Structure formats: C-alpha cells, structure tokens
Amino acid sequence: MDCTPLRRNRPYRHLWTAQALSAFGAQASMVAIPLAVIHQLNSASVVALVSFTEGIVLLAVLPVAGLAIDRLGYRPVLIFCDVVRVPTLAVMGWAIGTHQLSPALVVVCAAINGAANAPFWPAVTAAVRAVVPDSQMALALALGQARSAVAGILGPLLAAALYQRSPALPMLCAAGSCLVSLACVVTARLPWPTTKAKRPVRGFPLIGGWRFLVAQPFLRHMMIYGAVTNLAFGGIVLVTTTDYVRSGDTTGTGWLFALAGTGNLLGSLAIAPGMHRLAPRALILLLAWNVALFGAVAAALGTGVWSAPLLGLCCVSSPALNVVVQRVLLRTTPSALLGRVQVAFQTAPQLLASVGPMAGAGLLRVTSSHTALIVLAGVIATMTVLTAVTSALRHVPPAHTDTPAEQREDEATDGRRTHASTMRADPLR
C-alpha cells in the first residue's frame, strides 16, 4: 500500500472531512431536537420517546448494517447513509422553522436518522483501513478520536448559538453538512474491497461478527471491559451531576462536561506517540489503571470542586484505549467480516453506556451519593484488576493473512488469467 503522508492522502482527507461533518450533524440534532420539542410541543415525554426510539432503532439496525458493509462494500453504504440523512434533517428543519412540528414527525424522523447513522461509522472505519497503511493506522485513528472530541466540545455550543438565532438553523446546517459529506465520499476515489468471502459462511450470517469475537480472547475481554466500565462511569457522571444540581452549583455540571471533553482531546492527541513506545498490553494497563485510580480518588473525596478535574483525567484514557483496541481489531479481522465484527464489538459498550445513568439513579434511591460513587468506582477497579491478571492480554493476536486455501485459490485464478492473456498474445501457440 502507498505510504503517502496522511496530509497528502486524498481518500483519507475526504473520509476525515466526511466524518467531521457527520459528527457536527449528529451534535446539532442532539441539541436542536430536544430544544424544539420542549419549546414547541412543551412535552418532555416526547423527548424521552425520541431517545427510546433511537436506542431501539440502533439495536435493530446495527447487525444488518454490519452485514451490509461486508456484502455491499463500504462505499455504497456511506453514500446511502448521507442520501437518507440529508432530506430527513431538512424536513426536520422545515418543520421546526414553520412550527409544523408534531410528535409523530419527530419520532419518525429520529428513527430514520438513527437508522442512517448506525452504518456510517463502521463503514468509514472499514474505508480507512483500505486507504491507510498499517504503519500510519495509529495516527489515523488518533486523528479520528481527536475529531470526535473537538466535535463533542464545539458542536453543542455552535448548535445552541445557531438555535438562538433561528430554531431551524441547526437542523438545516446539519442537512447541509451531510450533503457536503456525501460529496466528499463520492469524490474520495475509494478503492473497491479486494477481499471477499470465497464461499458462504456457515451458520447465520448476522452473528458472524459475534462468533469471531468469541474466538478472540483479546478482543473479547476488551469488549467486556469497555461495556462494564462504560456502565459504571455513566453512573458516576449521573451521581456527580445530581449532587451538583442539589447543591445549587450550576457551573459544576458545565465544568464536568467541558473537562471530560478536554480529557478526550488530550488522550487522542497523546496516544499515537505512546503506541510507538509501549507494547499494547502495557499501554492498555496504564490507561486502565489511570481510570481506576482517578475514579477511586474522585469517589473517596465525594462530589466537590475536585470532581470535574479528576473525572476529566479519567476521560484521557477513553479515546486512547479506543485507538489501541481498534488498531488491533483492524489488523486481525478478515475483510469479509470487518463490518460485522466492528458492529458486534461496539454493541455491548454502547448499550451499557446508556444503562449507566439508570444504574446511578438506582443506587441513589437506596443509598447516599458518596456510597454510590464508591460502589461504581469499585466496579471499575475490579475490571482493571481482572484486566491486569487475565491471560487474554498477554498475546495480542497477529495481523490477519489469507489462509493457505485462499492463497492457493487466488494463485490459481491469477495463473488462469496469465495463461489466457498469453494465449491471446500468441495465437500460434
């Protein structure tokens, strides 16, 4: 593969821009839809229904999305996602601007937009593997995490400012960003996938990604670690936010999310150099202990002035761990399974991340906030100890190569093509 620097790698630049624009669209809709529903419909229950619908749609679409990426290729999936999102977001912007918003319209548009968002991110990652050499993959993934961190910090602020100027502007700008994203994908000159399944995969194809993960101890353990840690950390954020609100500290919550975003950005910028100096296992343990130790200190001190900085330091590890594990996943997964493996790996952490606030709220009903923080921090510490002692991290799986049978089949195909071209060149032979 061509080792052109990333700044001059046209397909990668187009993909990075498409991801950045899609991230802004997601942030804009996340801010604008609840504000518009509350202002125009005066119904918090509709906001909850939208959130519930998006979760159900995500759970239903993700398995099919992974299979579509593997069978159709990442380019058609990326184009389809943006083609669906542009009119959906535009309709929402029109409805908000003309005060034609209704609960049914909000729920339907949110479901369609969520269904189109689900395949986009794993398809982009599959495309990045096709256009970026392995020697530059860590930097490419780190830049992707940095982009997400910046979008998480600036996206809501920009969307809120646009909403104050005109309630329809955030959704219309989101539609425009997806339209430009579509143009970036179409003009990116992405290569077509060259590795396809040689024969039908045995068993139900939708669970092919899960079957692969179960057979990979490293990826299986990191998926479980990410899911449980997301649940516990989501609960910690909910408990801390509740304490800030009850104490009348309205700026505490703002600082908490601002420093969390800053921690994500710092972690994404620092991980690429770290991967050149430390082995994957040592780096994972360093990052996991960072979360466990600062989380434990924050829980021991209770909610106060130090909570936001300590939890922000915990967030440094999140994008860094994502880069380390995702690089291993991209190196070890066969191309014919990449979409389904990515979807399977992300499903449990995403679902438990949404359950985390519910866990924190449940603990607050039966115990004090200080005890709830200690329990949740203890869950993270337990997972870190298990990660340190497990044998799953002692041997990172090697990069995937074609099996001998696949190599022989490819060689035979190449041989037949060479023989046919020779016969055409020399008809007297």
Residue 89 neighbours by CB under 8 Å, 6+ apart: 25, 29, 109, 113, 171, 172, 174, 175, 178
What pLDDT score does 252 carry? 76
CA torsion 295-297-302-304 (nearest 10°) is -90
Sorting pLDDT into bands at 50, 70 and 90, what band is 2? low
Joined tokens for residue 61: 């679409």
Find the mean pLDDT for residues 242-248: 81
What Rg do the C-alpha atoms of the chain give, in angstroms?
Answer: 23
What's the CA gap between 174 and 163, in Å, rounded? 12
**208 or 428, which is more confident:** 208
Sorting pLDDT into bands at 50, 70 and 90, what band is 410? very low
Sorting pLDDT into bands at 50, 70 and 90, what band is 292? very high
What pLDDT score does 286 carry? 93
Would you give the end-to-end CA distance of the chain in angstroms? 36
Neighbours of 274 (CB within 10 A): 18
What's the CA gap between 26 and 429, in Å, rounded? 63
What pLDDT score does 10 carry? 87
pLDDT tens digits for 77-96? 999 999 999 999 999 999 99
Domains and CATH numbers, the chain: 14-186 (1.20.1250.20), 205-405 (1.20.1250.20)
